[in-house]
Amino acid sequence: MGIIEKMRLDGKKIFVTGGARGIGKSVATAFAEAGADLAIVDIDIDEAKKTASWIKDKYNVETIAIKTDVTNEDEVNSMIDTILDKFGKLDVAFCNAGICINAPAEEMTYAQWKRNIDINLSGVFLTAQAAGKVMLKQGYGSIINTASMSGHIVNVPQPQCAYNASKAGVILLTKSLAVEWATRGVRVNCISPGYMATELIKESKQLKPLISQWNEMTPMKRMGNPDELQSICVYLAGDTSTYTTGSDIIVDGAFSCF
């Protein structure tokens, strides 16, 4: 089998948290184009259904939409049960759901801190753990977590200590799981995007004014596009990356190089 054929994901079953929009939707689209069947998992079930229906119509793959709060262990376990009932197995988990609350550290409420950590770090742990339990029984699987360049550097000018801490946690969580499961057929990697031109950022009254400053600070002088993460995730999901585990792939236009 040639390299192009190995890059295909035909027959693989994948879930994507935060899959209704943004990075999740973009990567889910790439998975579908490569032949995978998908569960679009999101707290916004209406948008998840729209995304799942659009992907199914465009790529003729099986899709389902599942409403899940990734901070709720029971809901995460129910999501896994639904996927197994529908697809019978789970090949790939893209643990992508996340938020960012910008607030000065001295003004940040504990509720704001906890929400960042609960969704970005604990949510990744719960979904990766639930996926891992299935994959360890199967003897195979690939887990991809969304971290951030913010797990490597401190962003300016916006104050976001909780977000930065949560994403640094995702990176070390990824490496820890990768080592624990390395001999048991389950690979765990993460991606660390830089500033991405998602609709959420472009439409945010708080963040939109910062885009020009971010562009100036980025060596490539622009934000990334979510579709520039697609090929990396397809690689990590597929059979050409079988020796890749514990890796954190930074995609930030060289922002974190200085």
Give me the residue spans of the domains in the chain: 3-195+227-251
Peptide bond into 157 cis (omega under 30): yes
Query: Computed from CA positions of residues 166, 221, 23, 146, in that sequence, does the dihedral angle turn out positive or negative?
Result: negative
Q: Which fold has domain 3-195+227-251?
A: Rossmann fold (3.40.50)
Catalytic residue among 12, 25, 163, 241: 163
Is 175 considered catalytic here? no
Backbone angles phi, psi at 177, to 5 degrees: -65, -40
Is 148 considered catalytic here? yes
Catalytic residue among 167, 192, 195, 241: 167
Report pLDDT for 250. Answer: 98
Catalytic residue among 142, 148, 166, 241: 148
| Tokens found for residue 167 | 């994403």
Is 166 considered catalytic here? no
Report pLDDT for 207. Answer: 80
Helices (H), 94-225: 110-117, 123-138, 161-180, 199-202, 211-217
Task: Output the tens digit of pLDDT for each of the chain's 258 residues.
Answer: 788 888 999 999 999 999 999 999 999 999 999 999 999 999 999 999 999 999 999 999 999 999 999 999 999 999 999 999 999 999 999 999 999 999 999 999 999 999 999 999 999 999 999 999 999 999 999 999 999 999 999 999 999 999 999 999 999 999 999 999 999 999 999 999 999 998 878 777 778 889 999 999 999 999 999 999 999 999 999 999 999 999 999 999 999 998
| Tokens found for residue 98 | 């996340």
User: Taking the CA atoms of the chain, what radius of gyration do you get in angstroms?
Assistant: 17
pTM: 0.96
For residue 195, which of 154, 148, 230 has the smallest C-alpha distance? 148
Report pLDDT for 237. Answer: 98
Across 16-37, b (16+ Cβ under 10 Å) vs e yields bbbbbbbbbbbbbbbbbbbbbb
